[in-house]
Amino acid sequence: MKANQIDAEKLLWDQMPTNGRNQSSTPRMSKLVVSIVLFLSLSYFFYTLKILSSSHPCSPEDPPLHISTFVSNISLPKKPPHQSWKRPSYSYSSPQALSAATELRQVVFGIAASASLWEKRKEYIKLWWRPKEMRGVVWLDKAVRVRRDEGLPAVKISADTSRFSYTNKKGHRSAIRISRIVSETLRLGLKDVRWFVMGDDDTVFVVENLVRVLSKYDHRQFYYIGSLSESHLQNIYFSYGMAYGGGGFAISYPLAVALAGMQDRCIQRYPGLYGSDDRMQACMAELGVPLTKELGFHQYDVYGNLFGLLAAHPVTPLVSLHHLDVVEPIFPNVTRVDALRRLFVPTRLDSAGIMQQSICYDKSKRWTVSVSWGFAIQIYRGIFSAREMEMPSRTFLNWYRRADYTAYAFNTRPVSRNPCQKPFVFYLKSARYDPVTKRTVTEYTRHRVAMPACRWKMPDPSSVDTILVHKSPDPGLWNRSPRRNCCRLMESKKKGSMLIDVGLCREGEISEI
């Protein structure tokens, strides 16, 4: 198109009379161009003289000015105290404050609890709560007896919510009370708060991993962080954009301020919603804040045995466990609380690595070995690909019991019907730190259950009674790009024992046979 236009103009120019082009047009155009150039040059010259005459000379002691100089000299208003609560103003922190990592004391917990279940559920809170290091409140519907020496958070009674309408016939109006916990915790006026974390009284947090996850985000911005239900149908009925409160979720301080300013009006607009977490998400939608998904928050809307989910935990920090009263104890032959107490032993040694899966192979015996560090180890006859092993095996049932495996919000694999492919499971027995080698040593013993007869002509994993795993603590694991650790089978001199080394993958090391 452009080339055709140029050719047409050239043709018109060539058709003009020669005397018109050479004698008239050219001299007039030349005089006009010279006049314009001269005028612009003189204007620029006089403008430069004016600037030089009005400027002052720089002192040799004056430092050069940069953008950071101007930013650091801006005086920002301080956050007012919350004595009689008033909507606080907040401002962006200085670059120095932003660079400081989030600490556990800057996270405030709001725990939803019921007086009727308090004596039982408080045992879960004791497992992870640290009175001298953490801040938070248990919000109850009625007063309960609390001893000061129990090592629990402060206990408060939620405000009356009878003025709010609730019309859902299948739910309970306590959902309104629970949905206001973050706002009520904010109104306590605690200082130096970056995040508010919501959870239930049967939610167990790995607080070091919670802080690791929250440290990835700018607490000065609006963030609503959590995860979905394991049940596809639950997510359809409620929302795929909702953080499930049982699994826990986090709200940044400025978002909590914005929420508190509008939440009561928002609640009135949704009397027909079922629970507290869908009310919270409805208000987040009005604020325009989407859910930031972190897979380490676990709602566990399932029944039965969590083994398949825990043994193939996703490559992300384990942040929370929920519905512990609904599922079986995570270790066999012990109570639910004792099982969790055992899990917290390796968690204290290496919280970043707890439940993280590694996959390796015994080539001589043709075994597949899956390590869920700090929890359990599985040995399979035959070779299973890493793609298969990182899928949870269906040892659990859907929240809607009539729903089949297609009703999960993630991929699963069936428990094999082949008797030779039933895994030999070794559960955590003990964990310790060796100060000489500076490594953790976890011991796993075989779960002795009747195994079906197998006719395969290959070594039998029942010859192994104990597995020892050596691993270096790696608190910076989640500061790098996510990747499974690698495991290596080492030579063991003890009969009936297997030795495994777990750690960062070496150059060129992959999970293949």
Over residues 419-478, the pLDDT tens digits come to 999 999 999 999 999 999 999 999 999 999 989 899 999 999 999 999 999 999 999 999
Query: Which bin fits 151, alpha (ψ -120 to 50), beta or left (φ > 0)?
Result: left
Q: Calculate mean pLDDT across residues 476-503.
A: 95
| Residue 124: band (very low, low, confident or very high) from pLDDT cuts 50, 70, 90 | very high
pTM equals: 0.81
- Distances from the Cα of 406 to the Cα of 121, 223, 311, 341, 413, angstroms: 32, 31, 20, 34, 11
Average pLDDT over residues 1-17: 41
Check residue 181 and give its pLDDT.
Answer: 98
Q: What is the mean pLDDT of residues 96-116?
A: 86
pLDDT at 34: 53
Say whether pLDDT at 17 is over 60: no
- Among 53-62, 66-75, 183-192, 281-290, which is the least confidently predicted range? 66-75
- pLDDT computed for residue 37 by the predictor: 53
pLDDT above 60 for 60:
no
Classify residue 402 as exposed, middle or buried by CB count within 10 Å of its CB (0-12, 13-18, 19+).
Answer: exposed
pLDDT tens-digit map of 360-377: 999 999 999 999 999 999
Task: Give the mean pLDDT of the chain.
Answer: 86
Contact at 8 Å (CB) between 350 and 471?
Answer: yes
**What is the pLDDT averaged over residues 52-60?**
40
Whether the per-residue pLDDT at 98 is higher than 60: the answer is no
Helix (H, G, I), strand (E, B) or coil at 257: helix
Would the pLDDT of 150 be above 50?
yes
- The number of beta carbons lying within 10 Å of the beta carbon of residue 342 is 21
Say which range, 15-24, 85-94, 249-258, 365-374, has the weakest mean pLDDT: 15-24
On the question of pLDDT at 500 being above 60, the answer is yes
The pLDDT value given to residue 42? 60
Domain boundaries, the chain: 98-299, 335-503
Nearest CA to 386 out of 368, 405, 372 is that of 368
Given a contact cutoff of 8 angstroms between Cβ atoms, the answer to whether 324 and 340 are in contact is: yes
Which tens digits make up the pLDDT trace of 316-364?
Answer: 999 999 999 999 999 999 999 999 999 999 999 999 999 999 999 999 9
* Share of residues in the chain with pLDDT > 90 (%): 75
The one-character DSSP state at 235 is H
Which of 57-66, 105-114, 182-191, 294-303 is predicted least confidently? 57-66
The per-residue pLDDT for 103 is 96
Residue 377's DSSP bridge partners are 371, 426
Note the CATH number of domain 335-503. Answer: 2.70.130.10
For residues 144-169, average pLDDT = 93
DSSP sequence for 324-388: TTTSPPSSTTS-HHHHHHHHHHHHHH-GGGTT-EEEEEETTTTEEEEEETTTEEEEEES---HHH
Model confidence at 59, pLDDT cuts 50, 70, 90, reads very low
Alpha helices of 269-313 — where are they, by DSSP H? 276-287, 307-311
pLDDT over 70 at 43, yes or no: no
CATH architecture of 98-299: Alpha-Beta Complex (3.90)
Half-sphere exposure of 506 (CA within 13 A, CB side): 5
Contacts of 507 (CB under 8 A, 6+ apart): none
Number of H helices, E strands in the chain: 15, 19
Coil, helix or strand for 271?
A: coil
pLDDT at position 40 is: 58
pLDDT at 493 over 90: no
